[in-house]
Structure 1
């Protein structure tokens, strides 16, 4: 991926301001029932039942995007980004963990999504340590011309899935990407064994404190407007 990870992280703490979007776009992007919350702001965000939702349009050359949510675990996004290269956005739902790897008894997540068959994007977890020195991405599906940062370290079956592992650096932090070898729209990921594999088996980091577990859609292009729906998401552990 392009070395723009720091931008994606920093945008979650910049105050919100509205994009020049019509109110009709926001309504069109919402589900049939009235959503609890929706926003077309570039940095629009809210907290619902322990999860924080972000619209998070952080890349250059982005188009229009609106996010809606019934809860922190049932939400979606409508995005109309041009068919050009480079990541445009990462709308996501975040759960804060703030525990060291050795103090975690468990950490897992279940997901169920409905995603388009066109465009260029990946559906992924983005996991950070509290110092933002390390980024662990778990790609559960991808479509179009997208690929992870770094070089392949081979395949690994762990946490309930088989992944191709990539290791890289974006100039600001280390990035470890686990890309599922086949696309999935629902499942459960046992995250803790993956963190322990990085720490104990590979020695790529020490006993880091895991801060954020984010889940969302890293969108490169979605011309004409596409819908991405998180039907259900749970992040649990401690």
Structure 2
């Protein structure tokens, strides 16, 4: 074996030290790279500026009601309002609608979207939202869901559905209140009106909702049932953001997701019309309400009959208990809350009511004063007759 000269051995030793040092630097560099964000946040101050997030949604500044500066910063999962100057009168339109959307809005379409989609080909439209609110502003936090008789990708659609997750300050939806409705398992105050260019149906939460996963199609069905859209119309976009009237810096959509599940053909929303989630026709129903009453207490046996031509999946029966009545327990359905405007929801074994079929559930409760029975039953937001 050949022996290395001392100078050569020394050089090899130095080379080993240098290689070890470079290896440490490489590990540190890889850790720094792994910890870095996937993309830099993007700030938009142009009135109608946009950018793309998650490779599939569009964030828009959408400052249309004010000349004051507004900037939004798009993040990996949503956006936040970075600057919100100026104000608008609270008895008029808001300053803007900074938002994130799936679909097409004023010629801008999100990457890879399958919208516009004809409603009778849509079997579901799941969406999820997480909001960040502030106190020093006047605003609503809301979804905008746009429907039109044509598959348009520009301009104003004929019907706008708004879902108000929160409102702060002396503001109200367009139009006037027309009652309450249970949609998506929640009770909403419903407003209906128009802004001169399109119809607006608004669902207003009684208290702030900071996050929720739900099916947009539930609200679309409720709108069709009220005659403000038809099954052969098109869903063009699903949007989530804020309408600020005063200030608004710090408002944030922390995360957003929206998908639209299609696969049927016009007139037949799903290859298997028995699958849950089919839009079908607006429910038609009859309710029988039988009671057994004693001093301060009662039981109610409720029978719901589907008199329509299509199954009702994920059924929810909404009604209002007379004043003084409180539910203490229920069977064959979940009934919440215990007083006031309540909603009975099917459980696993009876979540579907076939066409022409009936199901029954019941509950026990207490009452004060004179006992009376509720009226005004609504099955999945469609009015029922009473037997």
Bin the TM-score by the shorter chain. Answer: 0.7 to 0.9
Work out which structure has the larger RCO, using CA pairs closer than 8 Å and 6 or more positions apart in sequence: 1
Equivalence for 1:74: 78
Contact 2:87 2:95 in 1 (8 A): no
Distance 1:229 1:143, change over 3 A: same
CA distance in 2, matches of 1:213, 1:206: 17
Shift of 1:203: 2.2
CA distance in 2, matches of 1:84, 1:176: 22
Equivalence for 2:141: 123
Shift of 1:197: 1.8
Distance 1:105 1:77, change over 3 A: same
Query: What are the superposed Cα offsets for residues 148-194 of structure 1, whole Å, 9 maximum, x if unpaired?
Result: 00111111111132211111011111111111111111112321122
Equivalence for 2:51: 46
Equivalence for 2:64: 58
CA distance in 1, matches of 2:118, 2:187: 25
Contact 1:55 1:66 in 2 (8 A): yes
Q: Helix, strand or coil for the counterpart of 2:251?
A: strand
CA RMSD in angstroms, aligned pairs only: 1.8
Equivalence for 2:314: none
Q: 1:92 aligns with which of 84, 95, 99?
A: 99
Contact 1:160 1:188 in 2 (8 A): no
Distance 1:186 1:156, change over 3 A: same
Shift of 1:83: 4.4
Residue 237 (str. 1) matches residue 263 (str. 2): no
Distance 1:95 1:210, change over 3 A: same
Shift of 1:206: 0.9
Shift of 1:118: 2.2
| Higher share in strand | 1
| TM-score (norm. length: structure 1) | 0.79
Larger Rg: 2
Shift of 1:35: 3.5
Distance 1:142 1:35, change over 3 A: farther
Residue 37 (str. 1) matches residue 62 (str. 2): no
Q: 1:205 aligns with which of 214, 229, 232?
A: 229
Contact 2:88 2:94 in 1 (8 A): no
Contact 1:101 1:196 in 2 (8 A): no
Equivalence for 2:315: none
The worse-fitting range, judged by mean Cα deviation, of 209-218 and 153-162 is 153-162
| TM-score (norm. length: structure 2) | 0.49
CA distance in 2, matches of 1:57, 1:93: 13
Contact 2:129 2:253 in 1 (8 A): yes
CA distance in 1, matches of 2:87, 2:229: 37
CA distance in 2, matches of 1:84, 1:104: 38
Q: Helix, strand or coil for the counterpart of 2:94?
A: coil
Distance 1:228 1:221, change over 3 A: same
Equivalence for 2:183: 158
Contact 1:92 1:217 in 2 (8 A): yes
Contact 1:107 1:192 in 2 (8 A): yes
Query: What are the superposed Cα offsets for residues 20-62 of structure 1, whole Å, 9 maximum, x if unpaired?
Result: xxxxxxxxxxxxx7733211111111123111111111003x4
Contact 1:160 1:190 in 2 (8 A): no
